[in-house]
Amino acid sequence: MPLLHVEIPVLRGFLTAGEAAEWKQDVFTAEESGSLLKSLMEGDFKAVLLSSQVTKLLNGDGCYAEEEDMEGYLEKRILLYLMGGSSDNQANRELVVLVLAVSCLHMFAQSNWTGPPFSFHLSDLLPPALLSPQFQTLDEAAHSSLLLDGESVYSLVANPFLLLLARVILIKSACKMDSLQLLPWWTLRYIKLHQQILEACSPQLLDLAQNSIDKVMRHQSVLSEQRNLAVQFHLECVYTSLSYYQYQQAKEHIRKAQELSGLNINMTGALGKRTRFQQKYLAQLILEVKRRGDGSDQMDIEASPTPTPQASLPRDYNLSDDTMLDTINLAEPDQYKLPELAAEEQALILGICTDFQKNNPVHKLTEEELLAFTSCILSQPKFWAVEVTALCLRSKLEKEKSRCVERAMMQTQVIVDYFEDTRCPGSERLKIFYCCHAPPRWAVQKQLASLLTDLGCTSSALLMYEKLELWEDAVICYERLGQHGKAEEIVRRELEKKETPSLYCLLGDILRDHQHYDRAWELSGRRSARAMRSKALLHLRNKEFQQCVDCFEQSLKTNTMQLGVWFSLGCAYLALEGYDGAAKAFQRCVGLEPDNAEAWNNLSTAYIRLHMKNKAFRTLQEALKCNYENWQIWENFILVSTDVGDFAEAMKAYHRLMDLRENYKDVQVSRWLALASRRTPAWRTAPWCTLGEARKGWMRMRRRGEESAAWRIHLCTGENTGEQILQVLVRAVVQNLTDIQGEQAGALRPKLKELLGRISSRHSSDAEVWRQYALLCGNGNSSDSEDNQKALQFLSKAHRCEVQAGGWEKEPTVFKEVIARAVHMGKVTLSCSEKKSNPAEALQMLSSSRLSLRSLATKAKQMHTDVATGQLHAELQEGVADLEQLITELQELSGKLRNQSQ
């Protein structure tokens, strides 16, 4: 029988009816591998490990060189076995080693994920010299070998030797197992388990995972013939991609898996009831699952695992609430009835749910959509891995709901207790296990402790954390209980038992002392990414930014996949004004997590400081995709979009800011804007500076009379810059500037009028808004009489708002500006009155303007006439004279109109 025909059922985990007869005759009778394959397919993994073939393979003649570590010894034994026989028997030996690796993975998963627990004695497998007390214990040796990229292994992992042996076979010895085409698939499964017991992501495992996926993808003929296995493979790739922040690749694998499954999965609304006393059916969010076409492309039932009896699965707790129903009571349940789902189909729905959770923000709507997924999955309890993963997710979502928090805690306790339950064998629990992301047992226990903490049972949670040796969480509990000294005491007590880098790091966190991080770094052989990371964070807290950067970079040399470290490194570089370094750090950050809005925003800040504003504009667009509700990002975006000349986007941003902040506007910042345009549009050449620098620059230009100079001070602060942006937008439209796309800004006039209409309705007492509105309507100089009438109306409102504000009349310079604007309003009044066909309306217009101007002239004389000389302030003399002349002209025109009307 070809080896591939053996590998496929081993991957699947069971034999079909047709394969069973064939295997009984051809495979189970093989000399070395037959009995092992039989034990494997029957789910007796322990029998494989303790078999005479494996014992002889691992123990050999009992010789052990003292300079060898455990990993080296195991590698030597496996390679000796693979190369020790004739070429005729090579395939059989490779099968023996494969069965051993698969059994180790399954037993490791059973020990730490599925249960029930089991025990075996390594003394039966390894030479006595290797177990000698003068050497490291087996667990210590396994932990040391499994430590990757400076990320330590969880201290209470059960039977780490099994994972180490699987690693040696699947990675170290793979080069001698060329006959096995699908061996990389098992390597991918090993990677999934190994990554979950590490403190953080491992770049080594990522490289290995990508290599393994590529190798499996080369066997398209196998995947095309085995549709069920192809769906499983793509789902396993989904979880691997999500673990390493590769969201786009995960989506592609989800798409392929759904295509192969023949399922249509959509979120939809249906009439239903959520409460016991609800009278009317209301729209409820549910998951609709339908098979495509005639169902010819559905899963092969024979090649899909048979469901586990419901009695052997963890109990799904009822809500038992006097108001809320357990499930939605649909008005038309038959219309949305689920088809009977196979194992791969349930796993697919769970995979889509996980992908959706990873790609959406924490929000109430997101929670409701995730609950729709869990309700769908839990309506058909069939497989341990799917059931437990869905129950854990539902418990996490329900812990914030007062009516559901009790069920969340009870449900989590049931899952914790079920690990010890022996009614359901491990082989049943492993069905479809690698296609789901079931949490390890300590993660479920930690979730239960977290629920206890949220309910105020801090002491009970503390006991659980100490039992799990999750010392960081235990320290937080001590802090909440006010026992600050106890936190240090418990860490020092554990250090007396055994010194580890993690404990020294934790002691450094408690005491905020660098010497403990240095000790952790040395103890780890300069391999602990956590030690340098924690040391850097302490430097950051103390604003010692250069030392902080040095430590972060040292940590990243050990492990480049530390998302939080890249972000913090970027912030430290910003504080040091090292914008190149900041840009590189935030680029890596968004590369690892593309939906990190803060990282995109900070990356744009670095680009702005580097005068790369087009890049800043694009990065802010990405930031807004990730967080559409953050007004600070929108404010940065409106600044940058205006600065690069995308006026349409600036208007859209202004509208959005008004949606998010009801009273959004700017009054102060526009004072510090000096804007001019000579040959090049100012928005293309603007440097960036701080608010203080802008203020000084503006005042300096005013003193030197350089208001028309061809440069501009632009703000990069957290303050509102609404009117400043408004002035630029109005000028761009009025002067018909060319925007970043090469389009004429004049085409945006209707949109800008709409924006100004909205702004003026909210801020009707703001003079600058009305002035900009008048400017957009031609400022009284338009060839369209209707626009001139509107401009006069807006200028009049601006004047009224200006004179009603207090304090302006005391400063002659400001008074002079008010007079100049009033004179312009008077001239527009004259122009509009002359063109009025109705004399009565013209007279009213002239009278109103004349009263305003006369009041202004009178106030100028009252406030700024020298009592001793009787002379008006020199700075106002010309303006007041213009006012009086204009008042005379208005009066004369009024007289002519009265004579005409008579």
For residue range 83-99, list pLDDT tens digits in order.
Answer: 887 777 889 999 999 99
Count CB-CB contacts under 10 A for residue 760: 16
* The pLDDT of residue 708: 30
Rounded CA-CA distance 11/4 in Å is 10
Residue 778: which region, alpha, beta or left (left: phi > 0; alpha: psi -120 to 50)? left
pLDDT in tens, 332-365: 999 999 999 999 999 999 999 999 998 887 788 8
* The pLDDT of residue 594: 84
Token pair for residue 886? Answer: 């204009």
Token pair for residue 470? Answer: 């999750």
Instruction: Give the SS3 label for residue 747.
Output: helix
Rounded CA-CA distance 797/456 in Å is 59
Range with the poorest average pLDDT among 116-130, 564-578, 702-716, 869-883: 702-716
By the 8 A CB rule, do 195 and 179 touch?
no
* The pLDDT of residue 579: 95
pTM given for the model: 0.78
What is the sign of the dihedral through the CA atoms of 230, 235, 239 and 241?
A: positive
* The pLDDT of residue 66: 67
Average pLDDT of the residues in 601-610: 93
pLDDT exceeds cutoff 70 at 307: yes
pLDDT in tens, 796-829: 999 999 998 888 888 889 999 999 999 999 999 8
Confidence bin at 530 (pLDDT 50/70/90): very high
pLDDT exceeds cutoff 80 at 780: yes
Sheet order of strands, 324-330 included: 282-291, 263-275, 324-330
By the 8 A CB rule, do 169 and 101 touch?
yes
* The pLDDT of residue 696: 42
Token pair for residue 543? Answer: 């604003």
Average pLDDT of the residues in 711-716: 32
By the 8 A CB rule, do 675 and 710 touch?
no
Q: Which of 107, 104, 82, 105 is nearest to 32 (CA)?
A: 82
pLDDT exceeds cutoff 70 at 631: yes
